[in-house]
Amino acid sequence: MVAVPGHTAPTRADFQRAIAARADRWFAACLKITRNPDLAEDAVQDALLSAWDKRHQFEQGARLDTWIHRIAINAALQLLRRQKPGLFVPLDIEPGDDSTSPESAREFEELDKGVTRAMRRLSDIERVCFVLKHVEQWRLKEIAEELDTSVGTIKQAVFRAVHKLRADLPEFARANA
């Protein structure tokens, strides 16, 4: 490990606080990319091991949880690259908020089912590009670099994904028009 002069690496306690606060968010982001809970768990675990091993490279002014989040996304993408196409499991995660009314919970469940159905129609590249662009807020150039392709290819994939999602979720498209 190469230590950065005048820089203190995150401690075990720093990692424990970040994990306690953000592990669910990292898992959810990886799940959106992999569509497989086991792969998502593996991605988060790989990310945490990688972040711990590279903790001396962490930049002092950055947020540890954001840094680990980015590593987790990259780990999920790496796992996808190693998988054969078509081996993804549909997303079957239940919303976990008990504080909602039965009516809003039912509406959320219907929306969740609609989004899950619509996301299944996307190709792997469309889904990954859509999630990275619109959920994770990556720049097109960052996505292109990570996927080792052109910005034009990423733009096309995002455009196709948005077009398909709007067609499958017209009520959402109208609400956000």
- Would you kindly state where each structural domain of the chain is located, as residue ranges? 9-84, 101-177
| Six token digits for residue 121 | 């129609």
Instruction: Give me the helices (H) in the chain, please.
Output: 12-34, 37-53, 64-82, 102-121, 124-130, 140-147, 151-168, 170-175
Give the architecture-level CATH label for domain 101-177: Orthogonal Bundle (1.10)
pTM of the model: 0.58
Whether 101-177 and 9-84 are alike in CATH topology: the answer is no
Residue range 128-139, pLDDT digits in tens: 888 888 888 888
| Residue pair 18/36 in contact by the 8 Å Cβ criterion | no
Residue range 31-56, pLDDT digits in tens: 888 888 999 999 999 999 999 999 99
Give the architecture-level CATH label for domain 9-84: Orthogonal Bundle (1.10)
Residues of the chain falling short of pLDDT 70:
1-7, 84-101, 104-105, 108, 112, 171-177
| Residue pair 126/161 in contact by the 8 Å Cβ criterion | yes
